[in-house]
Structure 1
Amino acid sequence: MAYLFENKVYCYYCRTAYFGDFHPEPNKSGDAIKIHSDCVYLVKHQQKPTFAVQLNLTHQIQKAKRRRILFIEIQCIKYLLRQGLAIRGHVEDEENLIQLLKLRASDVDGLSQWIKEKNYLSHHIINKICQIISLSIIRELIKEISEPKIYSIICDETSDEFGRVQLCFTIKSVDNEFIIYEDVLGMYMIALQSAADITEVILDILYRCNLDIKDCRGKGYDSAPSMAGHLSGVAARIQSLCSKAFFVQCNAHSLDLALQDLTCTSSSVSTVLNITNDIINFMKDSPKRLSLLDTLTN
């Protein structure tokens, strides 16, 4: 780097390190080499990122790596949910999710250490991920249901293995090509089985899904008094809010009630049903008899 007004020539590193009028004058050739080396070191050191910058860069790299591994875990959970497979098992290290992650660990760097740490493999975190996936699917379904606006609802009560009563809520809709869809939005626990409580749960679900009750064109329940009662049942309460919601009773439940009533009034029908039930139990209790029945029917 030449400066004509000073009639001198400076090295880039020496000029950068000793900016200004001050510049050491070397006495010997060895001093010049040492001064030049010191200048190179100072300039190189100034060009390096600070410790805080290096720490932040390392942190960003670790975040990106762990974010990628978390995305792989979410993909594995989505696969198990889509296939209807259990995520957990009787032994924690042998559960389906862990085994699937171990399979992916062969081609994903850092996944084996991720499995050992188990920071995002706790039951709480996995349940939260499943809930987020479920809500995202419901949002997509609601978006498709909201396009034609009109819809029908199907509700039925059932008890889980703990004896808690839950309401199965289904939306029935049709697209522009007149293809009918039935989408189950979920199971909702109800404290009481009264018509008022069930109606409140139904309206709360529709409100959360941003669906107007005025757009309902049909509703289907079983023939229980709390559901199909024409005075204060769920059907009557929904009808008072939307007169266009046509009520259709569940045919399967109606058939079951009709058969029960028939067996009470006809002894011959009752005898036939009892004999049929005894034959079924007799065949199911023995693998040998089931094998023989399979041979005869084929």
Structure 2
Amino acid sequence: MKKKNQSFVNGFNSWWKLYPKVSEQENSESHVSCFEKWKILENALRLQKTIGHEYQMILDQKKKKWRDILSRLLDVILFLARQNLPLRGHREGISSDNRGNFLELVNLLSKYDPVLKEHMLRIEHAIACTKSKRVDSYLSKDIQNEFISLLGKELVGDNLDIHLCRAQGYDDAATMAGVHGGVQAIIKEHNPKALFMPCANHSLNLCEVHSFGSQQQRKRRYKRSSIHTLSLSQACELEHGTSDREAS
């Protein structure tokens, strides 16, 4: 086997030796082979046919997909925040009838939005195939909290002065209403004038849930409602009857 010329690899100590070696290098088998590979690569790069380019296209598509998904999830959180609505539900399991405002709103939008629809179908398929709940869904409470934390930092960056806050209202969960480590307590440490008031809607909802907590209570409530309705009907009949008699 012909020994390769190492002069163009190791370099030259005497420049006068360069001239005769150049022609030898140009006609050598290794140089011709490298030149052909370089031209093939140059042509592939020009036509965007390289493996690296294909991988980059796949990577860009995935980045766009997740950016679109996260943008929609962020919009859901912003909507609930503007409407002063809680994100999480009492039970967020798959079998739950009401999984909370965040998950239920995402499910609703997935019926009409193709991006969220594909995302939710992928999650259902992954859970069914793996029999596991650990799927990259970006719907967990940790992701929600991370979004809220980022939004909080953004508000701080917008020079939102917490000392101008005069009231705050949340549900009765310990993480929000707790007197020691709750959000309202942390805010009051910075601004004692930010008075806390429990969410009236949430408190009313808890009353309704507990009042209908048992079958027997539901039956009693239904009977009282029926009696009340009957009394109203009788009152209307009596009133119309009295009016008719007075008219005659």
Q: TM-score range by the shorter chain?
A: 0.3 to 0.5
Which has a greater percent of helix? 2
Which has a greater percent of strand? 1
TM-score of the pair, normalised by structure 1: 0.36
